[in-house]
């Protein structure tokens, strides 16, 4: 297991967060891990404006996991990130990214547990929700093993918004997963 620590992101972390998210989901670098979306989405996964907005938003946190061996907060030791927020009285979990070469070593499980603790303990929220592209069966199964359930509620994929990526197929949609905290 890699020794790491959690901290909340600041706006000085925006570029590193964008780079990590892109590396985990898009392009050839994402294929080193199992969370890639490169087979069905091209284009960007997020941008600096979106990350900055989540950092600055009330009851919202960009949670970072970084190497405990880092000499400073910004020396390239970012291992994982996730966005946790209060949305309509429930926790929302998103923008979850683990460095592709470090997936399957426990960082993701720890990150999810920490995000759930923030929603439950700091904000007293009863549930955590997320949206997952519904063809991501392996990813959905990973969340189900951690107590999330498929709600059957779907949302259309925003095919006309390049901020979500450039679809390579026409059957994409989001499904909402939920867990009681």
Burial of 124 per CB tally in 10 Å (0-12, 13-18, 19+)? exposed
Instruction: Write the CATH number for 33.
Output: 3.40.630.30
Phi, psi values for residue 139, rounded to 5°: -70, -45
pLDDT in tens, 97-148: 999 888 888 999 999 999 999 999 999 999 999 999 999 999 999 999 999 9
Domain extent, residue 50, equals: 4-180
In DSSP notation, 35-59 reads ---TTTEES-S--HHHHHHHHHSTT
Output the pLDDT for position 21.
93
Partner residues linked to 28 by β-bridges: none
pTM (2 d.p.): 0.91
pLDDT in tens, 9-57: 999 999 999 999 998 888 788 888 877 888 888 888 899 999 999 999 9
| Number of domain units in the chain | 1
74: pLDDT confidence band, cut at 50, 70 and 90? very low
Output the pLDDT for position 26.
84
Phi, psi values for residue 165, rounded to 5°: 110, 170
Angle between helices 48-56 and 14-25 (to 10 degrees): 120
């Amino acid at each position: 297991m890699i020794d790491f620590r959690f901290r909340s992101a600041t706006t000085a972390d925006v570029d590193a967060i964008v780079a990590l998210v892109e590396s985990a989901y898009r392009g050839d670098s994402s294929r080193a891990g199992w969370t890639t979306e490169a087979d069905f989405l091209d284009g960007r996964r997020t941008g600096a404006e979106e990350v900055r907005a989540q950092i600055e938003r009330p009851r919202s946190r960009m949670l970072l996991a970084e190497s405990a061996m880092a000499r400073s907060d910004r020396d390239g030791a970012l291992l994982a990130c996730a966005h946790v927020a209060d949305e309509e009285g429930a926790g929302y979990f998103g923008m979850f990214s683990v460095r592709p070469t470090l997936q399957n070593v426990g960082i993701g499980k720890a990150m999810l547990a920490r995000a759930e603790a923030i929603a439950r303990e700091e904000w007293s929220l009863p549930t955590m929700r997320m949206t997952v592209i519904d063809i991501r069966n392996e990813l959905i199964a990973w969340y189900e093993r951690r107590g999330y359930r498929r709600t059957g509620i779907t949302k259309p994929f925003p095919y006309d918004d390049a901020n979500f990526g450039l679809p390579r197929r026409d059957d994409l949609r989001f499904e909402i997963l939920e867990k009681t905290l």
